[in-house]
Structure 1
Amino acid sequence: MTMLHYRLDDPTRGAAHDLVASHLAAMHAGTPAESMHALDATGLSSTDVTFWSAWSDGELAGIGALKRWGDDRGELKSMRVADAFRGTGVGRGILRHILGEAATMGLTSVWLETGSTPEFVPAVRLYESEGFVRCGPFAEYRDDPLSLYFTRAV
């Protein structure tokens, strides 16, 4: 597994912004607009969202965010691994970092929405291997054949 250094970051600037833009482009390319729920850089800058970048030897390895839903729930948002780091454990590292931060914030559960098409299978496997279980739509989400919903206790 790649050694990572995490930092709070600004999704509207620099390498983190570039990876956010790449993530959005990939999501828009494979998902109809009504089924695409990734936040843009402005959304990731909201006061209810905490955004981290993960670095390896000075190179951006990935990003991830946690959106608070009230006092005790959070939603994983816009987790993305840079192409050069895919398959190296960066995604698992970012996920575990966010879950640890959620616990520090006093959250009791984390929720997420991801795609249901074949390109999302690695993400689904990661989430399930880290204890997430499928659930129904939550918050503003609605039933959508292109979405899967997960939750887990923190």
Structure 2
Amino acid sequence: MKILQDDLSSEATIALIRAHVMDLAGHSPEESCHALDLDALRAPGVTFWSVWESDTIAGCGALKALDDTHAEIKSMRTAATHLRRGVAAKLLDHIIVEARARGFKRLSLETGPHDIFAPARSLYARFGFETCPPFGSYQEDPYSVFMTRALDGPDYSAPSKSSCRQAS
């Protein structure tokens, strides 16, 4: 598998993002759905990566700068064809390394509280993320779980492939 910085122009990438946004919309009311669409993922301050196995997209994720020291993980998604194959863990590790290299001191994310998001929350916890209050412009919301971790703390190696799940 290879991770590439992606300009969001390929049909496969666009299809994965559209499926991601539609799927998440089915689990939260509109005002509680924080998934970024294609235009928002192309905005300044957002870097988007896709994961590929040969010519098949396996997953994606983004890093959004909130300020000079704090960034947010956005649009983490594993393609249905690649679930439980280590895609999310490999990409999450890549995003953490990249965030550190850019000088961010804290990395946060928002995900869902429902059972379908449990594998994502578990993956994030294995990488040192802990629940936290809302950050940035987020507000308390029963449809959101907020997680964060300092980037100057211990490294967490990527979990084994067999323990990886889809991340949102």
TM-score (norm 1): 0.95
1:106-148 C-alpha deviation (Å, 9 max, x unpaired): 1111000000011100000000011001100011100011110
Structure 2 portions without partners, runs of 5+: 152-168
Structure 1 portions without partners, runs of 5+: none
Q: CA offset at residue 104 of structure 1? A: 1.0
Which of 139, 150, 153 does residue 153 from structure 1 map onto?
Answer: 150
SS at match of 1:30: coil
Aligned residues: 151
Q: How many Å separate the matches in 1 of 2:145 and 2:7?
A: 28
Match of 2:15 in 1: 18
Q: How many Å separate the matches in 2 of 1:144 and 1:122?
A: 20
Q: What's the Cα RMSD here?
A: 0.9
Which of 56, 59, 66 does residue 56 from structure 2 map onto?
Answer: 59
What amino acid is the match of 1:117?
Answer: H
Q: How many Å separate the matches in 2 of 1:48 and 1:151?
A: 19
Match of 2:83 in 1: 86
SS at match of 1:137: coil
What amino acid is the match of 1:114?
Answer: T
Which of 121, 127, 132 does residue 130 from structure 1 map onto?
Answer: 127
Match of 1:35 in 2: 32
Match of 1:47 in 2: 44
Aligned-residue sequence identity (percent) comes to: 40
Match of 2:70 in 1: 73
Q: Which one has a larger percent strand, Structure 1 or Structure 2? A: 1
Match of 2:154 in 1: none
TM-score (norm 2): 0.87
Q: How many Å separate the matches in 2 of 1:12 and 1:37?
A: 22
Q: How many Å separate the matches in 2 of 1:138 and 1:11?
A: 27
SS at match of 2:48: strand
Q: How does 1:98-113 map to 2 (within 5 A)?
A: 98-113=95-110
